[in-house]
Chain A
């Protein structure tokens, strides 16, 4: 058994003891201090600015790459791969998760494979995936799918199984069909867990895009990072890297909003 990552995403928000305003200001101060120390270290030649780079060089590289527009092509490739891979993982993950949640035999039969995918470092499989699917888009989408769909499956199964059996019996007792049970009871009850799985899946999908692009693509933000690094253009490396970090933050924020929405809808 490996770990089901459900807790950590919500955990970052748990520290509510500092008031919001103060927390924001302190966070800003901390980040600025980090950048200032980095810049100063480079200016004072404590670190080699060409190899390590520094915030002002990175800012220049940012402006240059935005003006040339090349980075937008990579961003577009990455976002498309991300969207296709994640959409596939939702479709397959929720479908398979419901099938496994409803039917014990299916669950028992598929469970070992799901756990293997979940706990094995899929990165090590990438050479095989490249051999099977070729270099580029398909492989990146496949890696993205494989990384994210497992968390959707695991959470959907847990959600379906958490349904109160009395509700199911009530619907059946009043003449509801199996389909009615799925539509009216199981799906609504499983939604919170499915969303939790989606949240984790989103983060893992982004990981998959970067992984696929770094090792088997010639386009996208992940590829661009390795390209600039191979040319030792450290400041340029940070442009796609920072964009990826921002995408990660945006995804996390979207997840937070989705969950808040959901809790409001459920009246919790």
Chain B
């Protein structure tokens, strides 16, 4: 026992310096990588049309942003994303709540949920395009399909795993079922719901880009497809960066919303 109590104290000391060591080494490694990439690409040690190099990527980013090409297509993708993602949150949380409260209802839909959850969702892109056309609607549907499943699954888990004691406390003070749901079950499930929403961002982005790459008129995925035949790697790196940044920003934003909406989730 003596050793066990000794350990955390011992570990606490070097941890503070280790955090900065992690950052320092990480930044150094990335800087080294970028420098090597720049040297190899700019000096044509490897053909630069195949791998590009950081300064060319940065220049291309500025050009594409200045010409309006990036902005115009990003707006289209963002609209498609929101058109699918917001319904996915609303329907996912509503369905998840219903499933969480009624095990029978959940059992009815479980095979469909498991099937959609385990199958490679982008395989549905061609069918969705045939069904809903080459325009923005099919992209919104893909975003919805990709995003809704993690939200449903996490909402169900959140609801079924709410502390029994919270529910009993409400009942003990004479709360009716709707009050129990509003005051104990939904707030208790909120942290899990937010995790589901955050998890679904990545899936939704992939669904969107895949659908746009498959067939579309405008959007970031469309641009990727256009530049894939242009013998230039720089544009692809720019577009990858844009898409990654969007996912990162969304997840950061959702974390902010989570701490504001459900500060109790930090206690977990």
Chain A positions near chain B (C-beta within 8 angstroms): 2-3, 5, 7-8, 11-12, 14-15, 17-18, 22-23, 26-31, 33-34, 51-52, 104-105, 108-113, 116, 119-121, 123-128, 130-132, 165-166, 203, 206-207, 209-211, 214-215, 221-222, 225-226, 228-230, 232, 234, 237-238, 240-241, 244-245, 248-249, 251-252
- B33: chain A residues at CB < 8 Å are 113
Q: Are B107 and A211 in contact (CB under 8 A)?
A: no
Main secondary structure of the interface of B (DSSP, over half): helix
Q: Are A30 and B22 in contact (CB under 8 A)?
A: no
Min CB–CB distance B151 → chain A (angstroms): 11
Q: Which residue of B lies closest to A110 (CB)?
A: B29
Min CB–CB distance B144 → chain A (angstroms): 17
- B99: chain A residues at CB < 8 Å are 15
Q: Which residue of B lies closest to A251 (CB)?
A: B118
Q: Which residue of A lies closest to B228 (CB)?
A: A127
Proximity bits, B119-157, A CB within 8 Å = 1, else 0: 111111111011100000000000000000010011011
Q: Are A125 and B110 in contact (CB under 8 A)?
A: no
Interface residues of B in 195-238 (CB under 8 A from A): 195-196, 198-199, 202, 205-206, 209-210, 213-214, 221, 224-225, 227-228, 231, 233, 236-237
Q: Are A120 and B112 in contact (CB under 8 A)?
A: no
A-B contact pairs, 21 of them (CB 8 A): A2-B202, A7-B154, A8-B117, A14-B156, A15-B160, A18-B107, A26-B104, A26-B108, A30-B107, A51-B131, A121-B206, A124-B209, A124-B243, A130-B228, A211-B122, A234-B127, A234-B130, A244-B123, A245-B123, A249-B114, A251-B118
Chain B positions near chain A (C-beta within 8 angstroms): 3, 7, 18, 21-22, 24-26, 28-30, 33, 50, 99-100, 103-104, 106-115, 117-127, 129-131, 150, 153-154, 156-157, 160-161, 195-196, 198-199, 202, 205-206, 209-210, 213-214, 221, 224-225, 227-228, 231, 233, 236-237, 239-240, 243-244, 247-248, 251
Main secondary structure of the interface of A (DSSP, over half): helix
Q: Are B156 and A15 in contact (CB under 8 A)?
A: yes
- B225: chain A residues at CB < 8 Å are 127
From A3, A29, A33, A104, give the contact of B202 (CB < 8 A): A3
